[in-house]
Chain A
Amino acid sequence: MSSRPSKTAPLFWLLFSGGGTASALLLPAMLFITGVAVAAGWMSDDELLAFIKNPLTRLALVGLVFLFLFHWAHRFRYALVDLGLSRIGTQAWLFYGTALAGTIVAGLGALRL
């Protein structure tokens, strides 16, 4: 661990907390949609497809993937450190890099539609 204050740490903490709030407020409803409404057939394949293709939905989904993945990256890597796996947990680039890559993949998928 470096003794100098990190310049990027506040940014990652902000994304962690933004993603934490977004997922705390939205995930139960989203899980209900895909896990209950779609699974029970209340939302047909055409309805779900039209919903995903809506530009506003696509924008929201990419934004959520961005926040969700950076929330995971931050929390999970510190949990690994707490579990004694600090060799992996301190490789910040691995986790934030995965989050960034996932956001780019989501963005490309949304742009392709």
Chain B
Amino acid sequence: MTPEINRPLPRSWWLRKPAYFKFMIREMTSVAVLAYSLLIIWALWAAADAQSFSTFYDFLRSPLSIGLHAVVFGLAFYHTITWIALTPKVMVEWRGDERVDPDLIAWNIWLVFVLVTVIVLVLVLA
């Protein structure tokens, strides 16, 4: 093996091209998913007594929380976009001999996304 062939990739490879950068952001949306899981865990533990719940509720109303929510929303929505775009590539459907149009599958998932969002918001806020 020549050193040229075995050359390790520099750590910064993902900063070289926009496509690589977008890939890394896409993978890092998982950190937003982790962050929201921690918020849910906090909510479940805080709900046990009035004092801790008041701390939790005050945090949600703080500028820090609103700022964090904005960042996490950006990542979460990027995850939604990329996940829906990828699903028809993973899930290939056939109708007889014809492949179902991947765009049609993606648009249907977007429709499901809109329905789920409306249902959750109505159930929780109405």
Contact = CB atoms under 8 A, between A and B. Distances in A.
Interface of A: 17, 19-21, 23-39, 41-43, 45, 48-49, 51-53, 58, 61-62, 64-65, 68-69, 71-72, 75-76, 78-79, 82-84, 102, 105-106, 109-110, 112-113
A27 B80 contact: yes
Contact of B41 (A28, A37, A41, A106): A106
B13 to A, nearest CB: 8
10 contacts: A23-B36, A24-B83, A24-B113, A25-B80, A28-B73, A32-B73, A33-B120, A82-B14, A84-B11, A106-B41
A113 B33 contact: no
B30 A83 contact: no
B57 A23 contact: no
B39 A34 contact: yes
A20 to B, nearest CB: 6
